Structure 1
Amino acid sequence: MQRTRLPGSIFGLCAASALLVACGGGDAGGAGGQQPPTDQQQTEQQTSEAPAPVKETSGTFQTYQPTVTAITYDPDQVPIGSRIKVNSQSTDGKSKVTIDVQGLQPDRDYGAHVHVNKCGQDSKESGPHYQEKPDPVKPSVDPAFANPQNEVWLDFHTDGEGNGHATAEGNWSLATRDDAQSVVIHAQPTSSEPGQAGDAGDRLACITADF
């Protein structure tokens, strides 16, 4: 009697075990027991992976008028009708700024920086350079503050047709502060020498830009 009951008992145990595994596998939600992401998790993941939007400002250089975005203060060096485009992208305290110019003087070096104020009738109205960590001493000519890591330097060289390009990337919080409002083109490349750091000569032109 025991010999005939044993196979039946084993068979019953195996069937019960198989049923338990099958039921358990159906509740696990996939390999390793991981649940599929919820709609909210998928949205958060897509948001975190989405690139930051690029803000673009473009303008044609003209002499000052209250409604003009791009102003030339020296038409010989930045001719009326020449153009500039500023692209800015910021995320997590990091920023990338790109400028493209067309129609300036050919084969020439220019300095350029982000400044704290909008452009005005007087070239000085754009104020000093944007600094991530402001120098308590003004004007700022200390290389510890006036440098391409703390400021946004965009010096460029034009080709034979007067076109130029520059890109700067750094740990700048441009999008979350209100003291980055313009790009100023200067007469010469930016100095890094103590006592002259950040100096790039006369302000030739300015565009009020969105960062």
Structure 2
Amino acid sequence: MFHQVHVAGQFAPPTASTPWNAVTYDTNSVPAGSGITVSKYADNTLTVLALAVSGLRAGHTYGAHVHTKPCGNRPADAGPHYQDRKDPHQPSVDPTYANAKNEVWLDFTTNAKGDGAAVSLNHFKFRPGEARSVVIHEHKTETGPHTAGIAGARMACFTLPLSPAN
């Protein structure tokens, strides 16, 4: 079965009174009003995710990953990275599990206008209800032993339905 998602949003700081799908936790790196679009194309064996952002800090390299929970008031609310094969030890920093083939990594560098883009191709499909957001991190994703998957603080989060509920 083919599954397609295309969702756009504008970042805003989290507030208790306003529902949100795009939250910025650091308005210097991801200013309020900056934009994000995520497109997903998937079948039973392949998932392609495309990320485009606009209006972020210019000339900066960010990490970005799919996370397991929706965004919330706090950066940690989005939970850990989605992993096709789950690392039994969390947080996962083992390169056996924390890698671009087992997770969705969408690292990007913004241009002079603060625009950037990334594409990830993975040979798995998301488990129902377990891929709920894309988190933009402070820096490029690390790959070494004991640091694999680390990309610094969570700057922003975008909630979207990457995996159908069931």
Bucket of the pairwise TM-score, normalised by the shorter protein: over 0.9
> Can you list the C-alpha shifts for 1:120-178, whole angstroms capped at 9, x where unaligned?
0000000000000000011100000000000000000001100000000011212x421
Higher helix share: 1
Structure 2 runs not aligned, ≥5 long = none
Tell me whether 1:117 sits opposite 2:117 in the alignment: no
> Can you list the C-alpha shifts for 1:31-57, whole angstroms capped at 9, x where unaligned?
xxxxxxxxxxxxxxxxx8xxx353111
2:6 is matched with 56
Which structure has more relative contact order (CA 8 Å, sep 6+)? It is 2
2:125 is matched with 173
Runs of 4+ in 1 over 4 A off after TM superposition: none
Look up the SS of the partner of 2:51 in the other structure: strand
Q: 1:140-155 alignment to 2 at 5 Å?
A: 140-155=92-107
**Identity of counterpart residues, as a percentage?**
40
2:113 is matched with 161
Amino acid in structure 2 at the alignment position of 1:179: E
Instruction: Quote the Cα distance in structure 1 between the aligned partners of 2:128 and 2:45.
Output: 11
What is the TM-score of this pair, normalised by structure 1?
0.74
Higher strand share: 2
RMSD after superposition: 1.2
Look up the SS of the partner of 2:147 in the other structure: coil
What is the TM-score of this pair, normalised by structure 2?
0.93
* Count of equivalent residues: 160
Flag the structure with larger Rg.
Answer: 1
